[in-house]
Amino acid sequence: MRAQHGEARMSELENTRGLIRKLWPKEQAMLRDHLLRLDKESRRLRFAHGVSDAFIEDYAARMADLGAIVFAYMEDGEIRGAAELKKVGDVWGREAETAFSVEKTFHDRGIGTELMGRVIRAARNRGVQILFMSCLAENNRMQTIARKHEAELRFQYGEVVGEIIPEEPNYFSLLAEAVEDRVGFMMTVFDLQRRVVAAA
Ligand SMILES: CC(C)(COP(=O)(O)OP(=O)(O)OC[C@H]1O[C@@H](n2cnc3c(N)ncnc32)[C@H](O)[C@@H]1OP(=O)(O)O)[C@@H](O)C(=O)NCCC(=O)NCCS
């Protein structure tokens, strides 16, 4: 799905026309809808077991309360991919958890890889040193992505627990996240305007 002629290029990703940005707390419904669109197999890989619609609805509703950071790949006002960065405990500490989901029709376009880059940097900027990413041993696609980010994977009870050890934060990593937040905001406003005009 490459950018159409004349269409504003909103993505740094080669084969997409969407945008990755942080989700705002009031946008939980969009995360819920994205997770609900995951097919049965993707749900099993994402949550390490099959989950019902009711489970997803409850899970998405709790995201903001948990103070999680969610990076979303957005296209035409819908979330098509998401990466969650969650605290272990009440405050950001040495360890955090992460999880990824990209809808099937959007696979293999580099979205998961880019989302993981954002998560690692956000973790680094919050002083997190170890990121736990639990995925099933058969999940080769996720392991390919983790390897691209030089993750260290260790096997545990039939699952793969990826420990990603980010570097210390620095001026550039903090600045890059802040700039991307601003760009994400501006592009969302432009996109909204574009869709309102198109609908009129
Ligand atoms: C895992 C997931 C997030 C990946 O998203 P994605 O956007 O397709 O990922 P990318 O396109 O960035 O990268 C996929 C990589 O896996 C590779 N790949 C595809 N099929 C593969 C396979 N069977 N075995 C190994 N690697 C494979 C792709 O070639 C690509 O690598 P490349 O960029 O070097 O070519 C997505 O498949 C997903 O949501 N799966 C269901 C939920 C899940 O598994 N979540 C992870 C557990 S938390």
Q: What are phi and psi of 7, to 5 degrees?
A: -85, 140
Q: Is 139 in the pocket of ligand 1 (CB under 6 A)?
A: yes
How many angstroms is it from 140 CA to the middle of ligand 1? 7
What is the 189 CA–ligand 1 centroid distance (Å)? Answer: 30
Question: How many other β-carbons are positioned within 10 Å of the β-carbon of residue 20?
Answer: 24
Q: What is the pLDDT of residue 138?
A: 87
pLDDT at 92 (0 to 100): 92
pLDDT at 118: 92
**Ligand 1 centroid – CA 46 distance (Å):** 12
For residues 60 and 58, give the distance between their C-alpha atoms in angstroms, rounded to a whole number. Answer: 6
- Closest alpha carbon to 82 in 53, 52, 58, 60: 60
- The answer, yes or no, to whether any atom of ligand 1 lies below 6 A from the CB of 42, is yes
pTM for the full predicted model:
0.85
What is the arithmetic mean of pLDDT over 111-129? 90
Give the Cα separation of 178 and 172 in Å (integer). Answer: 10
* pLDDT at residue 149, as a whole number: 80
User: Tell me: the pLDDT tens digits for 87-113?
Assistant: 998 899 988 899 999 999 999 999 999
The number of the ligand 1 atom at minimal distance from the alpha carbon of 135 is 47
Tell me the C-alpha distance between 30 and 121, whole Å. Answer: 24
Task: Convert the pLDDT of each residue in 14-54 to its tens digit.
Answer: 777 888 999 988 889 999 999 999 999 999 999 988 999 99
Say if residue 145's pLDDT is above 80.
Answer: yes
Q: Comparing C-alpha atoms, which of 139, 177, 185 is closest to residue 43?
A: 139
Return the ∠ at Cα 125 (arms to 124 and 127), rounded to 5°: 65
**How many angstroms separate the alpha carbon of residue 195 from the centre of ligand 1?**
30
Model confidence at 2, pLDDT cuts 50, 70, 90, reads very low
In this prediction, residue 153 carries a pLDDT of: 47
